[in-house]
Amino acid sequence: MSLTEKQKNLLRWIVKGVRAGYFPAEDNILWGCQVFGGPGQITRVLIAVLRSNP
């Protein structure tokens, strides 16, 4: 599954919020699994986003 630019931007926003401490990472990963298609997919996407946004 490849992500749209809108989905990538949403994930970047989630990652920034988690890093800033605005909300717990666990809540957003569970939500992300529902939106992006399961734990394996969200893990791969989050790793890619984290690597591209140090």
Segments forming the whole domain that contains residue 36? 5-52
What is the distance, to the nearest Å, from the Cα of residue 47 to the centroid of all Cα atoms in its chain? 8
Tell me, what's the pLDDT at 11? Answer: 77
| pLDDT string in tens for the chain (54-residue length) | 577 788 778 777 877 777 777 766 555 555 555 555 555 566 666 666 666 655
The model scores a pTM over 0.85: no
Reading the block at residue 26, the tokens are 């666990």
* Average per-residue pLDDT for the chain: 65
What DSSP string runs through 1-54? Answer: ----HHHHHHHHHHHHHHHHTSS-HHHHHHHHHHHHTSHHHHHHHHHHHHHH--
Tell me, what's the pLDDT at 12? Answer: 79
Domain count for the chain, please give it: 1
Listed residue (30, 31, 34, 29) closest to 49, CA to CA: 29
User: Could you report the per-residue pLDDT of 22-36, keeping only the tens digit for each?
Assistant: 766 555 555 555 555
